[in-house]
A and B are shown apart, each in its own frame.
Chain A
Amino acid sequence: MDNPEKKKILIVEDDRALQAALEETLEQEGFETVGAFDGEEGTQKAKDEKPDLILLDIILPKKNGYEVLADLKNGEEQDIPVMIMTNLEEIDNIQKALDLGAKTFMIKSDFSLKDIVEKIKEYFSKK
């Protein structure tokens, strides 16, 4: 964990308020964040910015989360870990996201920001 480099996290989320809250908290916790507001932008930024982790929403404009996952899987970005953030209603299809290579998922209404930070830290400490 004593990596001096700041870990870069890409947040793909179309709701501006959620995006802002995540960004603020993760930056306070010492991460660098990059935001994307739709699926196409998400794929592009994953390619350009080479983040250490991607937080990905499922229901997104232009391209949905599954399409983003499929795009990443075929490119050089396939090794970047992806955590899905979704709503309770999408949970039926979550297996599809896990099959496409997502590491884990979180239900937005169940998780507090603290839980998310914990999950991210836990992930990096395991690596």
Chain B
Amino acid sequence: MFSKFLSGINFIARCRKYGLGLWECPNFLFIVMGVVTIVTMVGTYFLSRQFSDEGITIMSVTVEAVLIVTIGSFVISGVEKVAEANILKTEFVSIISHQLCTPLSAIKWSMEVLETEREADCKFSEKQKMFLGNIKKSNEQMLKMVTDLLEVARIDQGRAIFEDKELDLSNLVEESVAGLMRSAKEKNVQISLRIEPGLSRVCVDERKIKVVLDNLIGNAVKYSKNGGKVEVGLKEENRRIVFSVQDWGVGIPKFQHSRVFEKFFRSRNDSRYRTDGVGIGLYLAKAILKHCGGEVWFDSEAEKGSTFYFRIPVPAAKNA
């Protein structure tokens, strides 16, 4: 009995660790139910005792207790299943991603060693170089997917760490576009950049905002048709930095607009045109921007293309 009680307390701690609220912990609810039952039993006993005799009072108290415990247990067993499933899901994502990180880093580093060898003496044929390039690209894709999944798990559990510092978004946007040039070239997509000069600095986590930019610009390239174009813009409006990225690609059907920022959501157009991606890029972008006090939104029409925007407030100027 005592050990069961201890394991119950343990379970509450586990639920809390995985970001579940106290009211989502079945063991906590059991304790609450126990307290509620005893309090109502005592209350009913004294109340009922004023109007009826001992026998009827005891009977009504018993019926009441049985009712509360039955209904309560029924509800709590449902809560318990949900809690278990949530914990399992989070553990699963963390373990899988964690176990994938080491081998993926090993591939990445080994490729890097091969690349320096390749430059040093050209022992590889053109064909081999092409396949090495393919391995590298797939490896990068997988690493990005795994780190994004880990980041989502961390944000969901409230464990994300933001290292905010003041920086100029223009450099990051340019960096992100440069990084996506290769995939754009493969599809013959032109990326044009319009960055207003002299933008104010914003206070953000560099690595995380880079993820947002990579996801938004990457999506625009990904969903462009071959030979299409992508326009990236950055400007300042009312003490806010506004980013936009427009494509003339597959677009998102109107009836799915409300679900675009949901976790694991993929548009019907998306799955028809391509198969890669897990549907966490925009969910992640929204969560990260929310932390910066910013927001993200979009316009889109099926078969015509999409424009995604975000804005981040410029911090109030410090008194020198």
Contacts and interface: CB of A to CB of B under 8 A. Distances in A.
Interface residues of A, number: 20
B105 interface: yes
Contact of B110 (A21, A28, A92): A21
Contacts, number: 60
Interface residues of B, number: 24
A113 B106 CA distance: 11
B86 to A, nearest CB: 18
B116 A28 contact: yes
Given A21-B106, A87-B98, A92-B159, A109 B143 contact: yes
Contacts of A70: none
Contact of A17 (B109, B159, B161): B109
Q: Is the interface of B mostly helix, strand, loop or mixed?
A: helix
Interface in A11-34: 15, 17-18, 20-22, 24-25, 28
Contact of A18 (B109, B161, B207): B109
Interface of A: 15, 17-18, 20-22, 24-25, 28, 87-89, 91-92, 108-110, 112-114
A18 B150 contact: no
A15 B102 contact: yes
5 closest cross-chain pairs (CB), A and B? A17-B106, A21-B109, A108-B105, A113-B112, A89-B98
B102 A108 contact: yes
Given A24-B113, A89-B97, A92-B159, A112 B102 contact: no
Contact of B116 (A22, A25, A92, A108): A25
Contacts of A15: 102-103, 106
A17 B108 CA distance: 10
Nearest to A23: B113
B101 A88 contact: yes
Given A18-B102, A18-B105, A21-B106, A88 B147 contact: yes
Contacts of A87: 98, 101-102
Contacts of B161: 91-92
Nearest to B110: A21
B146 interface: yes
Scoring A15, A87, A112 by chain B CB atoms within 10 A of each residue's CB, the highest score goes to A87
Contacts of A114: 112
Contact of B106 (A18, A92, A112): A18
B133 to A, nearest CB: 16
